[in-house]
Amino acid sequence: MNFIESLARKIFRDQTNIFWKNRNKCLKHEEDKFKLLYYVYLYKCKKVNRKLNSGIPISKNINKFIAPHGLSGIYVSKDAKIGSGCVIFHQVTIGSNNLEDSKSRGAPVIRK
């Protein structure tokens, strides 16, 4: 592995850790009377999502999952449920079906 590859992996790993740390703090302050800290951590999570071109909602239904290549390009529906320890690779979309006339309506549930 050359220098550029190792640097890129470190950056993705750092951004992933920053996202999960701020997400946990955001959920912790969600019920506060004054939601200033909630909005600060929400902003930080959205900043990482923009930087990595990802879309991971701040939800209690989405537990910390393993992303070997970082969070780059991962999009998750706000209605999806992801268990702790699941592995999701880069450039994956976990969507949901909200069409009225669909036979299989709903969002996916992924468990370890």
**pLDDT score of 68:** 87
pTM: 0.83
Q: For residue range 33-62, what is the model confidence (pLDDT) as tens digits?
A: 889 999 999 999 999 999 999 999 999 999
Torsion of CA 95, 109, 74, 60, to 10 degrees: 110
**pLDDT score of 1:** 67
Nearest to 96 by CA among 51, 59, 71: 59
Q: Which domain holds residue 76?
A: 3-110
**pLDDT score of 100:** 84
Domain total for the chain? 1
